[in-house]
Structure 1
Amino acid sequence: MSRPALRKQLAFPLLASAVFGLALYLLHTISGAPLAKFMTNPDGALEWTMRFVSIAFWLGVAFAAVRALNELVFLVFRKRKGYDAPSLMRDIFSLVLYVTSVAVILKQHFETLSFGALLSGSALLGIILGLALQDTLGNLFSGISLHADKPFQVGDVLTVGKWTGVVMSITWRAVKIKTFSNHIVLVSNSSIAK
């Protein structure tokens, strides 16, 4: 990714972090002023407002850091391998970093938050979603298999069913093929894996 594109990707999270950081600073500096008396009530509105702004600030910092780390890691990958990493690999890497960042930030702001209870409660949801998303998950795991085995790459000529053409992209869900009659065809990964 070029430097202007990287700057564009990092601009929003850094700007949001700066705005929320300024808001957090202002809330801390005026907490002894009449605003504190105005906002202090049995529910602790000022405390919750400061907590929310702090979480938003750290989320902005974390999202900017994840984007920068993502670009750095895959820039090294591109230089060493000579080609771009598959989008599936980039997406999984980013997802793991985002989820980890959010979990750490929430745990810092809510000490009583129990991830064990959250994970055990989400197990049932995972089963329900797994049954509902069988086709999508089949495509996902077929996509992982295609990325790991690399039976073909972008630019190769591929025949799938009645379609023959040049592979344009391989994603977590499908392979995009441009036929010789200039049609774009999306073929699901599970169809190719069969």
Structure 2
Amino acid sequence: MDQVRLPIEKIEYFIQHESFVVLVVALLFGWIFYKLFLKRISEKRHTTLRRRFMKTGLYLVLAIVLALLHWGLIQATWTDYFTVKVANYIGLVSFLILVTVLIRCAQIYVYLYLFLANMSQGVPRLIANLFTLLFSTFVVSWIAADVFGFNLATVLATSAIFTIVLGLALQDTLGNLFSGVALQIERPFQLGDWVEVHNSDDKWVGQIQEITWRATSLLGFGDELIVIPNKTIAQSQLLIFSDRNKPARFSQAFRFRFDVDILKAKAAILEGIKAVPEILEDPEPRVLVLEVTESWVSMKVFYSVTDYGRKYRVGDLVVSNVLESIKRKRLTLATPVLSLFREEEDHD
């Protein structure tokens, strides 16, 4: 007798040809939908969907082959006890792979919906992963109770203490998870946005690349990958620079000699600014006098750009072009002035 009795009748009910036909049709329908309506998505998204379709298709083929092998062994005229036992375990593996294909198909449809609804915007993996977790939990619970006959109420009752211990051990992980979910609900930023994260004395600047269970990934100006826990993100002050909001506003100061012609200096700065193609004309650049002392006049130019990631490149062009414009107009920047006083002793 088997030490472990498989509910083979229930398993065989699910590895009939009807189940495989439904999954094949669902996979083909998803592929046709992808080809018809998602032509304009990014190459990265194309790669993601193709890989998922390919892997899911391979799993489905494997499940079909194992199911055919199971039925072939069961219906063979020379079957014995050992052959039936092997066939039953092959049927079990086919059934488990079939369940995996079902979950992966559902996940593919989630990606199709998210990519269609956010054609030009980033889609964090956290949303798809959360759906996969919830759907997998539902399917596995149903299979455990209906197919294998587990009493889930008893299992949950006896595991209460274990759940408490596990929750305490995973406190930080769960904090990051729920913070990530909160970020997805509030959606203060999206993939592709530039953010400055200020937390106490720490500061991180980068472009949002991904939001996962544990952390948010930024790509810095030097192409370095910055991984910040979601809990830290939720507790930090955020400065968000997004194309959907107002363009990013920057400034650069210049200090002229006290006797400078202010109108001529402002014209020189604006002339240099207009030579930078990345700077927007609306809102237009402005030059303001900020400070006047006995030695210099300080002016600052304010300008706007759409792409925060080009901050340093645009800043370099601004300084270079304005300095060239100042030279052409024969203006002079202020230089540090050091005054020395000599005290002579009184010999009387």
TM-score for the superposition, normalised by structure 1: 0.81
Q: For residues 175 and 62 of structure 2, what CA distance do their matches in structure 1 show?
A: 37
The list of structure 1 runs, each at least 4 consecutive aligned residues, that deviate by more than 6 angstroms after superposition, is none
Report deviation, 1:108.
Answer: 4.1
Q: Deviations over 1:76-104 (max 9, x none)?
A: 23213434542111111112222332333
Structure with the greater relative contact order (CA < 8 A, sep ≥ 6): 1 or 2? 1
Q: For residues 59 and 159 of structure 2, what CA distance do their matches in structure 1 show?
A: 29
Q: For residues 55 and 106 of structure 1, what CA distance do their matches in structure 2 show?
A: 13
2:125–2:210: 8 Å Cα contact kept in structure 1?
Answer: no
Q: For residues 73 and 182 of structure 1, what CA distance do their matches in structure 2 show?
A: 30
Q: 2:224 aligns with which of 163, 168, 183?
A: 183
Mind listing any 5+ residue stretches in structure 1 that lack a counterpart?
40-44
Partner of 1:93: 131
1:164–1:179: 8 Å Cα contact kept in structure 2?
Answer: yes
Q: For residues 20 and 101 of structure 1, what CA distance do their matches in structure 2 show?
A: 21
> What is the one-letter code of the residue matched to 2:54?
K
Instruction: Report the 3-state secondary structure (helix = DSSP H, G, I; strand = E; otherwise coil) of the residue aligned with 2:189.
Output: coil
Q: For residues 183 and 68 of structure 1, what CA distance do their matches in structure 2 show?
A: 35
> What is the one-letter code of the residue matched to 1:105?
I
Alignment of 1:62-77 (within 5 A): 62-77=99-114
1:55–1:109: 8 Å Cα contact kept in structure 2?
Answer: no
Q: 1:8 aligns with which of 54, 57, 72?
A: 54
Larger relative helix fraction? 1
> What is the one-letter code of the residue matched to 1:183?
E
Instruction: Report the 3-state secondary structure (helix = DSSP H, G, I; strand = E; otherwise coil) of the residue aligned with 2:223.
Output: coil
Larger relative strand fraction? 2
Alignment of 1:84-123 (within 5 A): 84-111=122-149, 113-123=150-160
Instruction: Report the 3-state secondary structure (helix = DSSP H, G, I; strand = E; otherwise coil) of the residue aligned with 1:20.
Output: helix
> What is the one-letter code of the residue matched to 2:204?
W
TM-score for the superposition, normalised by structure 2: 0.48
Alignment of 1:27-46 (within 5 A): 27-30=73-76, 33-36=78-81, 39=82, 46=84
Instruction: Report the 3-state secondary structure (helix = DSSP H, G, I; strand = E; otherwise coil) of the residue aligned with 1:182.
Output: coil
> What is the one-letter code of the residue matched to 1:8?
M
Q: For residues 169 and 141 of structure 1, what CA distance do their matches in structure 2 show?
A: 16
Q: 1:56 aligns with which of 93, 98, 114?
A: 93
Q: For residues 7 and 81 of structure 1, what CA distance do their matches in structure 2 show?
A: 20
Tell me which structure has the larger Cα radius of gyration.
2
Q: Deviations over 1:86-145 (max 9, x none)?
A: 21111111122223323333334423x211112223332221111111111111111111
Q: For residues 204 and 50 of structure 2, what CA distance do their matches in structure 1 show?
A: 38
Q: 1:189 to 1:6 in 2, by over 3 A?
A: closer
1:59–1:102: 8 Å Cα contact kept in structure 2?
Answer: no
Give the fraction of aligned pairs with identical amino acids, expressed as a percent. Answer: 29
Q: 1:166 aligns with which of 200, 207, 211?
A: 207
Q: For residues 70 and 103 of structure 1, what CA distance do their matches in structure 2 show?
A: 18
